[in-house]
A = this chain, B = another copy of it.
């Protein structure tokens, strides 16, 4: 047998929150958790390699979900939006990271266990050039 009933959902990873599990937003949240004092919009943009519009959109989503707070003020006679993780955002992000870690563990373990197990169906595994 290949699977048993109690394996149902073994790899479903329901904790991968749709809001967080998105490349750009993952970037943003990681940047923010690494800069707990907050980051101005342009810095965040550079760190994440995002365009203005893109970052704006994602920040709106994250803010809507109360994962980040946006403090719109001004500095050097210019508008400045400082972005921060909220306390609950931090919690949710850390929870998400736990799931992500589980994914990596599951997969890495499996990948290591049988690099050429079941070779019947798989092409011979070749090294990357």
Contacts and interface: CB of A to CB of B under 8 A. Distances in A.
Contacts of A114: 36
Interface residues of A, number: 73
A128 interface: yes
Interface in A83-114: 84-87, 90-91, 93-94, 97, 100-101, 103-104, 106-108, 110-111, 114
B111 A94 contact: yes
Contacts of A101: 104, 108
Interface of A: 2-3, 7-14, 16, 18, 21, 23, 26-31, 33-40, 43, 46-50, 69, 71, 73, 75, 80, 82, 84-87, 90-91, 93-94, 97, 100-101, 103-104, 106-108, 110-111, 114, 116-129
